[in-house]
Amino acid sequence: MDFNLLDERLEGKTEVGLLSTEEYKYMVKDVYDHIKTKHPQVDTFLLNGEGMLCPLKTKTFQFFILLGVCCPLHSFEDFISISSHMSQEDTSLLKGEKRNVIYDSTYGRRSSENEMSGDILVVTKNQMFYEYYFYKYNAESFYNLERRDRMEYLSSKCNKGRRIRDLQIFAIIFTSRAYEELARSIRRALVSRRKNAYLLFLKDLSYERMITIEGTECIVVVDCPFFECTLDLHIPVVTPFEVEYAFSGEWKRFDKNSFSVSLESKSDCTEVDHIGKAGRILLRSEGQNVPYCYGEENMDIHSGDSGIPCKYDNEGT
């Protein structure tokens, strides 16, 4: 961390979000102590990033200090971040590289996905950053990071798409307002197919929050594609890609947030049970209240029938 540059950037600031991943947590104390010593007027909030740093996954602050690899799809507005220095040997190896080279944010370079074609080489030591490009483009890792079974992963996505095709009750959870319109387009496509689909805005995903609608048969998570929902639920948890595959039957290319399914024409059926709000399905659910009894119960112990179902020794009392 360049502390001289940090001092310049903190001029006039009153609050700072110090956001770090596990990999760079060892730097937090030094940065925090420096701010408290040199800039006591600045309120510093310690924040934890899971694997990567994305502005959609954290609270908003006047200024950010980023200790970790940043999401290339969503940018922080006002920030300072760490930088990695590549060895001379690695720099020489990359100098004559013919493939498209993608660097993570710590190397101070950004690449646009619009420019990508052909073979791709990813320069990063962050597994999450690499896996995004590996699953989407079958990219190679410059630092030989772990390669999982790409076809098994993509096949599991298609299998989920086939499984959810005939389900009826969907909860569509979007984690940021940036994805609200995408979530609404998914809901419109589902409703046009006579499905019940409910929108929920949840910034933080948890088991308790994701099962709030009783009877939900499938959860669609609309989130930054660098993040994978790994919660173990008893119902399918899918991305827009699986929903698109379920109703189009086509696999053009893998993109978690890909969704271009057209609406189905309205049916002449008039007996559809339409529910406008997610809360209404909760209100009509059974078994949510404990029935109270105000009378006295008979607490005597009675002997029941004995014998076998077809022939009782006695009929009880």
* Residue 115 pLDDT greater than 60, yes or no: no
List pLDDT tens digits, range 223-269.
999 999 888 888 999 999 999 999 888 777 889 998 887 777 665 54
pTM of the model: 0.78
Query: Using an 8 Å Cβ cutoff, are 267 and 194 in contact?
Result: yes
Query: Using an 8 Å Cβ cutoff, are 14 and 42 in contact?
Result: yes
* Residue 29 pLDDT greater than 90, yes or no: yes
Catalogue the E-assigned strands of 22-118. 43-48, 64-67, 79-81, 100-103
Residue 309 confidence (pLDDT):
63
* HSE of 201, CA atoms in CB hemisphere, 13 A: 9
Report which residue type is found at 311.
K
Residue 306 confidence (pLDDT):
64
Q: Which residues contact 311 (CB under 8 A, 6 or more apart)?
A: none
Domain boundaries, the chain: 3-81, 88-141, 151-248
Q: What percent of the chain has pLDDT over 70?
A: 80
Q: For residue 70, what is the DSSP state?
A: B
CA distances from 179 to 7, 21, 62 (A): 35, 24, 23
Nearest to 190 by CA among 165, 227, 208, 158: 165
Average pLDDT over residues 114-131: 86
Q: Does domain 151-248 have CATH number 3.40.1160.10?
A: no
CA distances from 246 to 156, 157, 239, 240, 251 (A): 13, 10, 11, 10, 10
Query: Using an 8 Å Cβ cutoff, are 186 and 262 in contact?
Result: no
Highest mean pLDDT: which range of 42-46, 244-248, 285-289? 42-46
* Residues forming beta bridges with residue 100, ordered by sequence position: 120
Average pLDDT over residues 123-140: 94
Residue 116 confidence (pLDDT):
66
91 burial level (CB within 10 Å; 0-12, 13-18, 19+): exposed
Query: Using an 8 Å Cβ cutoff, are 71 and 16 in contact?
Result: no
* Residue 22 pLDDT greater than 90, yes or no: yes
Higher pLDDT residue, 198 or 249?
198
Mean pLDDT across the chain, nearest whole number? 84
272 — phi, psi (to 5°)?
-80, 130
Average pLDDT over residues 128-141: 94
